[in-house]
Structure 1
Amino acid sequence: MQIVRRIGVPPVERGSVGGQACPDIFELEDGSFAVIGTDRTDLLGDRLPADAACADHEKIVVITRETLLRARSDILALKG
């Protein structure tokens, strides 16, 4: 599995000076997306809506609002 490209801007453009532990979004070669964020499964797992679930192999990952908003134009440009 390979990363094809970043979705949005690099963390440094969102104010990260050290590049340490910064949320990010990447498109993968199979068309999936990988997200770097803070694991909040323990906090949010019991608060999911009744029609949502988190399997044992899944995690609830939180990214900053700015990360997603700065990726918006790339997301809208995606085809398929």
Structure 2
Amino acid sequence: MRRIGVPPSERGSTGGGNCPDIFELSDGSFAVIGRDATEKLDGELPSDASRADYERIVVITRETLLRARADIPDA
């Protein structure tokens, strides 16, 4: 597993309650730590989007994703 982007501390997080993060797993998948917004956003998904009962809608900050962009592989 490797972090994609910068550590939360470099984005101003000083505690354990606001630490969105992105990791690339050994199989090439990505794991995201973020705020669970499933209940709030589930009804707002486009008609061609869906999620399984075991899936959650996770929100990360814009800064988290933008600062990870350079580390996301093209293929």
Q: Give the TM-score normalised by the residue count of structure 1.
A: 0.88
Which of 48, 51, 55 is equivalent to 1:51?
Answer: 48
Which of 2, 9, 14 is equivalent to 1:12?
Answer: 9
Q: Runs ≥4 in structure 1, deviation > 6 angstroms?
A: none
* 1:70 equivalent in alignment to 2:72: no
For residues 24-79 of structure 1, the C-alpha deviation after alignment (integer angstroms, 9 at most, x for no partner) is 0000011000000000000000100000001101000000000001101111xx14
Structure 2: state its 5+ residue gaps.
none
- How many residues align? The count is 74
Q: Give the TM-score normalised by the residue count of structure 2.
A: 0.94
Identity %: 70
Structure 1: state its 5+ residue gaps.
none
Cα drift, residue 9 of structure 1: 0.2
Q: CA RMSD in A?
A: 0.9
Give the match's secondary structure for 1:73: helix
Greater relative contact order structure (CA < 8 Å, 6+ sep): 2
